[in-house]
């Protein structure tokens, strides 16, 4: 239901940090560590490295780090600068409010960034490279959520939110205090908010000291740009001559928006204000479709119009012009309604309009990308066999080549002179910045944000393990081992069920589902890349839609049975099963099919009743695709595998966790599962967060989550 998100965009950071204004400056922390034990408190004290930008001379890098205060229950983002050899780290911002999204301007003599004005509104600012000489560049009434300057720096794009639709007070001016909402169509709420505001992109003039003449490039259009809930400035791009803005937009509303993923790339002429869709022919009219059926077999996909020799019916996002101005590249999914289709890398010849796919030989997703300086290559990151690495794609031949190696996830990629600047993480360490050689793939550490913790804490290790599935294919699981591991001992073991459902079990570092915290509490973790995950080919990735209770569940049972029977340190009599989102569905389903393998279950934000979920979720394209359409149209295989149909076989303690602001999988799902367990006399607990969404973002809630999580496992598994 949610694709892997390895990069936190500047707009998302701004959104979370603007809402949390701390009373004191929250910065780098060095808490007392007892017995070299990794604890939830230590996890939340770690710095979180975010977006980075390279200076024009490639001698310095500016980047964000976010810190969290458990006491204040708030977060704070600051800006650092570091030399290209890793020396000279300098904190540039010391305000109590967050300052973020740094970008070099004026040939590196200034750094533009977002920060609050005296009224607390986020504005665009500039400062000297040493943090002095601050000047406010915008005086907007609304928060500036993100920005990017044109190559000639005479103009700038600003992302701001505008009012969407009519409030009850607009309909009835005499009822200003009425709390009721009048709803007339789908998509009235999204992710964790009622849709009353949407982001728009504005273009303004910049004279070096101030931004003026700000104009909405989607004036009068009720569409998002960037697209919610996670789109940021990467969804817009300037042409090399500064005359054109490419932007991503799904120009649909209500039911159409809720049921379609058809986003396109548009070119906006800065001089004339005219807009052109480069993914659809002029005059294209979207065909009528039946939104209670899957779009998979409807003509919206099979008869999609051809542009430049290709069809673009699904997500087309994140445009980028080549440095020589000849091409525009973007990421593209082929099929409308399928949010987890393979993410292709497309380039269009701007002179001829012809389109080609690069890296077609890479049978997985292109996650993010950047052009080489000579426009002959595109560097991108993508997942394969549980690791996210950097690859190059040759513009002339289209062929891809792997650049990096190792048990890591490279989470971002951008040019750093002749090399690349990348974020890198693993299950054993959070994100830091590295300089990656384009010649041999070697990675040189640039930041070491959490050195204190790694100097004072013992961490576990992670090993790959392959298992034969019931159909003879091989499943890769990551086996997480406790610190100071003793192979002669037997350990309680957890089966980790991934969400998505098509998000990879790669070398991710999570600040909730953290493998090192689980290991530190004495658990071995088995984390399988079951059927329906990217990184093992298109066929493997596809084999989950309409088949939730099928091969993917067999894979889970194969992985845990193999570990229990063949890894001598796994205690088969002390097994637990945990997961969130689709992983939560997996937990609920396995609770009715595990045949007493497990001693305890934990499900976070999981689907318990699929029929109920079909009519409760907001992004209906997902429900239509994965479930085959509405249950009243006769799609028994998916709906008959709903976990609630197997509650009569539940016999094991279960902890159900849910955020009440989760509008993707709503609270009734966890509440129903908890009620069902208790009605059957099964030990159960319901942990509900009224102020959290599909994730747990607040520090004290995060620590509460960890405490109840391990309290449950220690009670029933250990």
pLDDT of residue 528: 98
User: For the chain, what percent of residues have pLDDT higher than 70?
Assistant: 97
Percent over 90 (pLDDT), the chain:
93
156 near 204, Cβ under 8 Å? yes
Catalytic residues: 581, 662, 694
The dihedral formed by the CA atoms of 672, 678, 684 and 686, expressed in degrees to the nearest 10: 40
In this structure, the chain runs to a length of 718
Cα–Cα distance list, 478 to 281, 463, 506 (Å): 46, 6, 9
Interval 568-602: pLDDT, tens: 999 999 999 999 999 999 999 999 999 999 999 99
Buried-state track 525-537, b at ≥16 Cβ within 10 A, e below 16: bbbbbbbbbbbbe
- Looking at the DSSP bridge assignments, the partners of residue 35 are none
Residue 302's pLDDT band (cuts 50, 70, 90): confident
Burial of 394 (0-12, 13-18, 19+ CB in 10 A): middle
Residue 74: pLDDT band by 50, 70, 90 thresholds? very high
The pLDDT tens digits of the residues spanning 501-541 come to 999 999 999 999 999 999 999 999 999 999 999 999 999 99
Structural domains in the chain plus CATH codes: 145-343 (no CATH), 359-425 (no CATH), 456-716 (3.40.50.1820)
pLDDT digits (tens, 9 = 90+) for 185-203: 999 999 999 999 999 999 9
Per-residue pLDDT at 299 = 80
Compute the average pLDDT of residues 428-453: 98
> Quick one: pLDDT band at residue 616, thresholds 50, 70, 90?
very high
Q: Is the pLDDT of residue 638 over 70?
A: yes
Q: What is the pLDDT of residues 340-372, one digit of tens each?
A: 999 999 999 999 999 999 999 999 999 999 999
Q: Please spell the DSSP secondary structure of 458-519, one letter per residue.
A: ---EEEEEEEE-TTS-EEEEEEEE-TT--TTS-EEEEEEE--TTT----S---SSS-HHHHH
Q: Report whether the peptide linkage leading into residue 229 is cis, meaning its omega lies within 30 degrees of zero.
A: yes
Asked if 55 and 104 touch (Cβ cutoff 8 Å), the reply is yes
Closest of 27, 61, 46 to residue 416, by C-alpha: 61
d(CA 263, CA 246): 13
Q: What does the mean pLDDT of the chain come to?
A: 95
SS (H, E, C) 178-218: CCCCCCCCCCCEECCEECCEEEEEEEEEECCCCEEEEEECC
377 band by pLDDT with thresholds 50, 70 and 90: very high
Residues 6+ apart with CB under 8 A from 394: 358, 376, 377, 400, 401
Kindly write down the DSSP assignment for every residue of 397-433, as one continuous string: T--EEE---SS-EEEEEEEETTEEEEEEEETTEEEEE
Q: Does pLDDT of 19 surpass 70?
A: no
Distance (Å, rounded) from C-alpha 529 to C-alpha 515? 15
Residue 287's pLDDT band, with cuts at 50, 70 and 90, is confident
Residue 21 has what pLDDT?
67
pLDDT above 80: residue 22: no
Encode 57-94 in three state secondary structure: CCCEEEEEEEEEECCCCEEEEEEEEEECCCCCCEECCC
pLDDT at 677 over 80: yes
At 579 the pLDDT is 98
Residues in CB range of 455: below 8 A, 6 or more apart: none
Spatial separation of the C-alpha atoms in residues 335 and 263, rounded to whole Å: 11
pLDDT number for residue 14 = 38
Q: Provide the pLDDT for residue 563.
A: 98
Placement of tokens 């006491």 in the chain: 71
- How does strand 443-445 pair with strand 429-436? antiparallel
Among 282, 355, 342, 346, CA closest to 320: 346
The CA distance from 291 to 621, in Å, is 9
Strand intervals (E) in 270-311: 275-277, 306-307, 310-311
Q: Please, what's the largest Cα pairwise distance for the chain?
A: 74
* pLDDT of 20 higher than 90: no
Let me know: does 92 contact 127? Beta carbons within 8 Å.
yes
Q: How confident is the model at residue 11 (pLDDT cuts 50, 70, 90)?
A: very low
- H or E element at residue 320: strand 316-321
Say whether pLDDT at 18 is over 60. Answer: no
Q: Is 667 helix (H, G, I), strand (E, B) or coil?
A: helix
Say if residues 242 and 270 touch (Cβ distance below 8 Å). Answer: yes
Q: What is the pLDDT of residue 4?
A: 38
Banded model confidence at residue 6, pLDDT cuts 50, 70, 90: very low
- The whole-number pLDDT of residue 303 equals 79
At residue 78's C-alpha, the angle toward residues 75 and 84, to 5°, is 140
Residue range 659-672: average pLDDT? 98
Q: How confident is the model at residue 131 (pLDDT cuts 50, 70, 90)?
A: very high
Locate 497 and state its tokens. Answer: 């069920």
CA distance 274 to 268: 6
Cα–Cα–Cα angle for 396, 397, 402, rounded to 5 degrees: 110
Average of per-residue pLDDT across 265-294: 94
């Amino acid at each position: 239901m949610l694709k892997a998100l390895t990069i936190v965009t500047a707009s998302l950071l701004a959104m979370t940090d603007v809402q949390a204004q701390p009373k004191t400056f929250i910065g780098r922390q060095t808490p007392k560590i007892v017995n070299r034990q990794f604890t939830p408190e230590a996890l939340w004290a770690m710095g979180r490295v975010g977006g980075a930008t390279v200076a024009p001379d490639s001698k310095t890098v500016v980047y964000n780090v976010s810190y969290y205060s458990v006491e204040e229950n708030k977060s704070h983002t600051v800006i650092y600068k570091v030399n290209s050899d890793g020396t000279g780290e300098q904190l540039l911002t010391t305000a109590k409010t967050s300052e973020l999204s740094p970008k070099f301007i004026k040939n590196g003599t200034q750094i533009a960034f977002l920060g609050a004005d005296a009224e607390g509104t986020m504005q665009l600012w500039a400062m000297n490279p040493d943090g002095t000489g601050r000047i406010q560049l915008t005086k907007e009434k609304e928060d500036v959520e993100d920005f990017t300057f044109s190559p000639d720096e005479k103009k700038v794009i600003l992302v701001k939110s505008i009012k969407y639709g009519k409030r009850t007070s607009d309909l009835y001016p005499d009822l200003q205090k009425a709390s009721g909402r009048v709803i007339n169509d789908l998509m009235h709420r999204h992710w964790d908010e009622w849709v009353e505001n949407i982001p728009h992109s504005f273009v303004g003039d910049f004279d070096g000291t101030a931004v003026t003449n700000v104009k909405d490039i989607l004036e009068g259009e009720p569409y998002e740009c960037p697209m919610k809930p996670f789109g940021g400035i990467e969804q817009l791009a300037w042409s090399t001559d500064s005359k054109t803005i490419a932007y991503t937009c799904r120009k649909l509303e209500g039911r159409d928006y809720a049921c379609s993923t058809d986003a396109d790339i548009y070119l906006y002429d800065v001089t004339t204000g005219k807009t052109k869709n480069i993914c659809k022919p002029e005059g294209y009219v979207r065909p009528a479709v039946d939104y209670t059926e899957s779009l998979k077999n409807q003509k919206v996909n099979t008869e999609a119009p051809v542009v430049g020799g290709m069809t673009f019916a699904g997500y087309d996002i994140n445009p980028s012009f080549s440095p020589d101005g000849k091409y525009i590249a973007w990421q593209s999914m082929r099929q409308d309604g399928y949010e987890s289709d393979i993410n292709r890398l497309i380039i269009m010849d701007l002179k001829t309009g012809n389109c080609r796919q690069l890296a077609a030989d890479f049978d997985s997703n292109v996650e993010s990308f950047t052009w080489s300086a000579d426009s002959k290559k595109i560097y991108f990151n993508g997942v394969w066999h549980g690791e996210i690495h950097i690859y190059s794609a040759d513009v002339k031949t289209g062929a891809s080549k792997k650049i990096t190696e190792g048990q890591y996830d490279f989470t971002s990629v951008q040019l750093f002179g002749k090399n690349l600047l990348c974020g890198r993480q693993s299950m054993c360490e959070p994100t830091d910045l590295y300089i990656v050689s384009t010649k041999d793939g070697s990675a040189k550490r640039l930041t070491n944000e959490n050195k204190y913790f790694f100097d004072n804490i013992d961490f576990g290790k992670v090993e790959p393990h392959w298992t034969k599935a019931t159909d003879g294919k091989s499943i890769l699981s990551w086996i997480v081992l406790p610190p100071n591991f003793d192979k002669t001992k037997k350990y309680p073991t957890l089966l980790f069920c991934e969400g998505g459902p098509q998000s990879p079990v790669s070398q991710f570092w999570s600040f909730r589902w953290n493998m090192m915290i689980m290991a530190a509490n004495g658990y071995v973790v088995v984390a399988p890349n079951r059927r329906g995950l990217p990184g093992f080919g298109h066929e493997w990735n596809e084999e989950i839609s309409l088949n939730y209770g099928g091969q993917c569940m067999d894979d889970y049972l194969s992985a845990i049975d193999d570990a229990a029977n063949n890894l001598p340190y796994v205690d088969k009599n002390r097994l637990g099963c945990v997961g969130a989102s689709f992983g939560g569905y997996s937990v609920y389903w396995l609770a009715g099919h595990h045949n007493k393998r497990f001693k305890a279950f934990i499900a976070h934000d999981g689907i318990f009743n699929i029929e109920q979920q079909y009519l409760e979720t907001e992004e209906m394209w997902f429900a239509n695709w994965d479930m085959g359409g509405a249950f009243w149209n006769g799609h028994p295989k998916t709906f008959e595998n709903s976990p609630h149909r197997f509650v009569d076989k539940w016999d094991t303690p279960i902890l159900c966790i849910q955020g009440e602001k989760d509008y993707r999988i709503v609270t009734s799902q966890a509440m129903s599962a908890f009620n069902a367990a208790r009605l059957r006399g099964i030990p159960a607990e319901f942990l509900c967060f009224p102020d959290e969404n599909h994730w747990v973002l607040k520090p004290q809630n995060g620590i509460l989550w960890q405490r109840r999580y391990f309290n449950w496992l220690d009670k029933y598994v250990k």
